[in-house]
Every structure is written in C-alpha cells, then in structure tokens.
Amino acid sequence: MDTQIIIDISVIVPIYNEEGNLLPLYERLKKVISDITPSHEFIFVNDGSSDRSMEIIKSLAEADAKVRYINLSRNFGHQNAVSAGIDYTKGEAVVIIDGDLQDPPELIAPMYEKLQRGYEVVYAKRKSREGESFMKKFTAKIFYRLLARMTSFSIPVDTGDFRIIHRKVAEALRRMPETNKFLRGQIAWIGYKQTFIEYERAKRHAGKTGYTYKKMISFALNGITGFSNVPIKFVTLTGFFVSGVAFFMILYSFYVRYYDPINYERGWASLMTGIMFLGGVQLISIGILGEYISRINNDVRKRPLYFIQEHNLED
C-alpha cells in the first residue's frame, strides 16, 4: 500500500445505503473542494450497501475522473470502511466525512484553511445535533465524558469522525494494527497539533441511520477497551472491597457461632444476600475481562479489516 502523494486533498466518504444522499452530497462536495483546489480525489467506500448506492457511485465515477470507489465485499462497518479509504488516499490532506449530509461539506473550507496554518488535525465539534433521538444524544453525551475521564490523553468530546487530517496522520493510522477500530480515539492518541471548529450538526438528508444500537454499543466498547484499562482496575478494586467486607462478615459469623446462640443458624436472608451480591460482582467482572479478551482474540487472529470486491483506484 505505497501511496505516492500527488494531490492536495482526498475526501473519504463511507457509504452504507445512502442512495438518496449521494447526488446532493457529491454536488456540494464537488463545489467546495474544487473551489479550494483542482488537485483532489473523492474516495467513496461502499460498505455493502443493499440499495442503489453502488450504481450511483459508478455513474459519478464515469462522469468525473476524480471519483474513486472501493466496493467492499460485504458490510464491514463504518470504521473499517473509513480505514479502507485511508489505506488508499494520496492526498496531502485527507477529509473524512459522513455520506448522509449530517456533516456540512461547506465546513471543509475553513477546516482546510486551519490545517494550512500548521495543524495536523482539524476536527469538527458538534455544538448541537438536530434530528437525532433523545436517547442517542443522551447516551453519546455520557459516553464521551466517561471515556474522557478514563483515558490518560484527551479524546475530544462531542466529536465524530468528520475532520481533516494531514498525510502524516493518515500514515500513522496505517501503522496502527488494531482490529477493533476507534478512529477518533486513535487520531487523538497519535498527537501532533490538533484543533477544532464548532458546527451545528444537521439531520440526515435522506435514508436512515446505519448505526443500530448493537453497532453503537460495540463501537463504544471498542473506544473504552482500546484506550483505557480503568474497567479492569475497577474489577480489582471491587475485588479488594468485597474481600474486605467478607473478612468482617467472617469475624461476625464466628462471633455468632460462639457467643450468640439465639441468632446462630438463622440468617438465611444475609446468606442469600451475600451469595447474590458476590455472584453479581463476579459475573460483571468476568464480563469486563471478556470484553478485553474478545478484542485480544480479534487482534491475535489478525484478519484483514475488509475485502475489496472491485475498485477503480489507479494501479
């Protein structure tokens, strides 16, 4: 995957069932990007769409030689689709943007300008988000703040993958081998000079979200397990705490056994409470360890992040 740098800007757009968005998206992107520089490429990564998205992308590619596509062999998920794009970009600057027009393409101009002033990452921070459920906004808000407290470096809150990065950062991403991608965390972890601009996140132009709750939870767990060992430390601390309590319970039961014959052999409730409590703590702890182990498992297998069915990339 040796990519020469021959152009100014690459724009990566992951696409999963966005047939209603592709044309207006392309129009707006094309306008903004050609105003900045004629030296650009669009990389549409089709992530196993089941609608007409791929046909539309191909017709765009026929009309505009700067449109590249990577058609993945199935749905590998948003993060893998973006990673596929990053693997093949040639740009000095690389834009990552959603395909549903929630990220306004017009924002790329000021973001690019900031990048030119010597930053390596300019991310777009959501001041507000329109047209998303209360549950999604609420869980996202809690998640990003929790994650920020659990990591030793700072992952920006209220920020998606909409950003512009320098080629250096794209190259750094290619060198990070983890299978469970959490790109916004990885980019924060990479470092360099980073800044942001704020924006109002629009609602989806057409279609519906490709992020089911299942995908969201596994994405959130990738973020936590990939960048923090706090949950494991929490397991250890809970273990110490519970053992401490258990120690006093043991002393108490000896006391009852020898000095309190009236209460001796009663205590069904306290016994049950103890068993239930310990059972709960143990299962949660095993679960937390399991989340880490399943990810280690994925990394040990070293399976490719995606397979490509067809593409129109050069060479």
Which residues lie near ligand UDP (CB under 6 A)? 14-16, 18, 47, 75, 77-78, 81, 98-100, 102, 209-211
Does position 102 bind Mg ion by CB under 5 A? yes
Whether the Cβ atoms of residue 44 and residue 57 lie closer than 8 Å to each other: yes
| Only segment of 7-15, 67-75, 96-104, 241-249 that touches Mg ion (CB under 5 A) | 96-104
CA distances from residue 5 to 96, 167, 246 in whole angstroms, order as listed:
17, 9, 63
> Least distance from C-beta 123 to Mg ion, angstroms?
16
| Only segment of 50-58, 102-110, 213-221, 305-313 that touches Mg ion (CB under 5 A) | 102-110
> Least distance from C-beta 252 to ligand UDP, angstroms?
52
Out of 100, 103, 158, 161, which residue is the one contacting Mg ion (CB under 5 A)?
A: 100
Window 247-306: residues binding Mg ion (CB under 5 A) = none
DSSP per position, 115-173: HHTT-SEEEEEEEEE-S--HHHHHHHHHHHHHHHHH-SSPPPTTEEEEEEEEHHHHHHH
* Cβ-based burial of 139 (10 A; exposed 0-12, middle 13-18, buried ≥19): middle
> Least distance from C-beta 118 to ligand UDP, angstroms?
29
Q: Which does 79 bind (CB under 5 to 8 A by kind): ligand UDP, Mg ion, none?
A: none
Please identify the residue of the shown chain whose CB is closest to the bound ligand UDP: 210
Alpha helices for the chain (secondary structure H): 22-36, 53-63, 78-87, 108-116, 134-150, 167-174, 183-190, 213-227, 230-259, 268-301
Q: Which does 81 bind (CB under 5 to 8 A by kind): Mg ion, ligand UDP, none?
A: ligand UDP
Q: Whole-angstrom Cα distance, residue 224 to residue 291?
A: 10
Q: Which does 138 bind (CB under 5 to 8 A by kind): Mg ion, ligand UDP, none?
A: none
Q: Whole-angstrom Cα distance, residue 132 to residue 103?
A: 14
> Least distance from C-beta 14 to ligand UDP, angstroms?
3
> Least distance from C-beta 210 to Mg ion, angstroms?
8
Residues forming the site for Mg ion (CB under 5 A) = 100, 102
